[in-house]
Amino acid sequence: MRNGVSARAYFIGVAVVSALLLALAMALRPSFAYAVRDTFGLVQPVPAAPDSFYTTRVAPLFAEHCTGCHGGKRQKGDLRLDELAAVMRGGKHGPVIRAGSAGESELVARIGLPQTDPKAMPPQGKEPLSGDDVAVVRAWIAAGASATRLARDIAGAPPPVRKIEIPVLDTATAARERAAFAAPLADLQARYPGAIAFVSRSSADLEINASRLGASFDDGDLAALEPLRDRIVRLDVSGTRVGDASGPALAAMHRLQVLRALDTGMSAKSLAPLRDRGTKVHDGRF
C-alpha cells in the first residue's frame, strides 16, 4: 500500500467503522435494530396467548385504528403495533408503554388527545378510538401489559362490544334437506299460493301464513299440511275457519315456535297444550 497501511489493517478499520455505524443506526432506529436482530434470529418473540386480554381485546383495536401506519407495511415513527414484542419495544423516542402505569404511557396519552391536537393519534381525519376503546388499552397497561392475563384478571375494562358474525350462506345443505319434501311442498304451494315460504335461503324450515286465505281455509286445509309438519316453525291461521278439530294437527307440528291464531274458532283450552310445550301463541286473548 502506498501510504503504508496494510490490507489487514484497512480491512479491520472498515469493519470497525461499519460495526460502529451499524451500532449507531441500531441505537438511533430501534425498528432497524429490531429488523437486524430479527434477520439473525436474535429476536425473542413475545407470544401473546390466544385467549389473553391482549389478543382478544387490545390487538383488534390496534389492528383497526393503528397498524395501517404502525404495522408491517409502514412504520411511522419507527413504531409497530402489529405484534406484542414491537408494541413493548416502542418507537423512535423509546417505549410507548410503561407496564403498570397507563398514566405514564405515551401511547395512552396520544390516543386520549382531542382530535384537533397535532399529536393526537390516530391523526385528525381518521376514526379515533372510542372512550371505551381507550379504557380497554388503559386497563390492559394498568394490569401490567401482560401477554397472557385473561379478561377476568383485568380490572376496569368495559365489557366487549358484541360482534355480529353473519353465518356463511349454506344453500347446499338447505337444498338437500328441502329435496326430501319437494313434491308435497310444490303441491301445497300450488294449492295455497303465496302462503308457504322458507324461513330463509339457508333453511329448510317453513313459515305458513294462511291468514289471507280467510274463511276459505279450514280444518281440512290445516290437515292437508301434514306432509310439512316437521318443517313448520311459524304458522298464522288468523281469521280462518280453523277450529278445535285442528288441535291434534297443531300438536303434531312439534317444531312450531310461533302460532298466530286471532279470530279463529279455536278455544283457549285447545291452545293450552301448545303454550305448555313452549309454542308462543298469539290468540288476542289476555
Partner 1 sequence: MGAAFLGSLAGRASASVTPLDFSRPPSQPLAALPPEFAPKARRVIYLHMAGAPSQLELFEHKPELTKFDGKDCPASFLAGKRFAFISGVPQLLGAQYPFHQAGQAGAWISDRLPHLEKHIDDLCFVRSMRTDQFNHAPAQLLLQTGHERLGFASFGSWVTYGLGTENQNLPGFIVLTSGGKNPDGGKQLWGPGYLPGVYQGVQCRSLGEPVLYLKNPAGVSRPLRRRMLDSIGAINGLTHAEYANPETVTRTAQYELAFRMQIEATDAMDWPGEPAAVRARYGARPGEASFANNCLVARRLAERGVRFIQLHHWGWDSHGASQNEALNIGFADRCRETDQPIAALLTDLKERGLFDDTLVVWAGEFGRTSMRENRGGQEMQFVGRDHNPGAFTIWMAGGGVKPGMSYGETDPLGYEIVKNPVEVRDLHATLLYLLGLDHRKLTYPFQGLDQKLTSVKPARIVGDLLA
User: Interface with partner 1 by CB under 8 A: which residues?
Assistant: 116, 130-132, 161-164, 166-169, 194, 197-203, 205, 209, 211-212, 238, 258, 260, 262, 280, 282-284, 286
The span from the CA of 137 to the CA of 109, in Å, is: 11
Rounded to whole angstroms, the maximal C-alpha distance in the chain is: 118
The span from the CA of 221 to the CA of 202, in Å, is: 27
Place of cell 423516542: 93
Backbone Cα Rg of the chain: 34
The span from the CA of 128 to the CA of 65, in Å, is: 7
Pick the closer one to partner 1 by CB: 7 or 168: 168
The answer to whether the beta carbons of residues 88 and 145 sit under 8 Å apart is yes
Least separation in angstroms between CB 13 and partner 1: 41
Least separation in angstroms between CB 194 and partner 1: 6
Pick the closer one to partner 1 by CB: 7 or 166: 166
- Please confirm whether the linkage preceding 122 is cis (ω < 30° from 0): yes
Pick the closer one to partner 1 by CB: 26 or 262: 262
The answer to whether the beta carbons of residues 210 and 195 sit under 8 Å apart is yes
Neighbours of 161 (CB within 10 A): 12
Pick the closer one to partner 1 by CB: 129 or 154: 129
Pick the closer one to partner 1 by CB: 238 or 246: 238
Q: Given phi > 0 = left and psi -120 to 50 = alpha, else beta, which region is 61?
A: alpha
* Selection from 236, 237, 172 nearest residue 201 by Cα: 172
Least separation in angstroms between CB 160 and partner 1: 10
Least separation in angstroms between CB 59 and partner 1: 18
Least separation in angstroms between CB 250 and partner 1: 15
The SS3 call for residue 63 is helix
Pick the closer one to partner 1 by CB: 201 or 269: 201
Pick the closer one to partner 1 by CB: 93 or 285: 285
Least separation in angstroms between CB 205 and partner 1: 8
The answer to whether the beta carbons of residues 52 and 150 sit under 8 Å apart is yes
Least separation in angstroms between CB 18 and partner 1: 33
